[in-house]
Amino acid sequence: MSDSECIFCRIVAGELPATVIERDAQTLTFLDIAPATRGHALVIPTRHTADLWEITPDELSAVTLAAQRQALRVRDRLGAAGVNLINSCRAEAWQTVFHFHMHVIPRYPGDPLKLPWTPTAGDPAEIAAAAQALS
């Protein structure tokens, strides 16, 4: 089941563009359009599920494993020194897109990120360059 109004469901369906890094039967990993750091990605289940309270254990496992694969890619291909995995469940926890998603945020020595961050539009060329390095 998908939600026709959900931006992430529309990305899964190919109706909206995304810089996809990896796709399998249960998950989609793509770069965030408002990255906190270079290589910041989102991992989502391909089936619509609103949040951590609604995702099935199998889907959560699949998302977590995909997030780990992305964390290893940013370490190995972008030189990340660490990584934050962040999920926000419901508006009170800063969830703004109500389709479960895990942020995989690479951390670099001296990066300016202070959590929580305020998303701002990223540089499209830099997002494309990160996608090239991660693909």
> 56-81 pLDDT, tens per residue?
999 999 999 999 999 999 999 999 99
pLDDT value of position 3? 77
> 19-62 pLDDT, tens per residue?
999 999 999 999 999 999 999 999 999 999 999 999 999 999 99
40, 48, 99, 101: the active-site residue: 101
Print the SS3 string covering 16-79.
CCCCEEEECCCEEEEECCCCCCCCCEEEEECCCCCCCCCCCHHHHHHHHHHHHHHHHHHHHHHC
pLDDT value of position 1? 45
Judge whether 89 and 52 are in contact, CB under 8 Å.
yes
> 93-127 pLDDT, tens per residue?
999 999 999 999 999 999 999 887 778 899 999 99
pLDDT value of position 118? 79
> 6-22 pLDDT, tens per residue?
999 999 999 999 999 99
Active site residue 101: yes
Q: What pTM, to 2 d.p., does this model score?
A: 0.88
pLDDT value of position 2? 58
107 is written with which tokens?
A: 């951390």
Cα dihedral sign, 7-99-120-110:
negative
Can you list the domains of the chain with their CATH numbers?
7-134 (3.30.428.10)
Assess whether the previous peptide bond of 116 is cis (omega < 30° from 0). Answer: yes
pLDDT value of position 90? 97
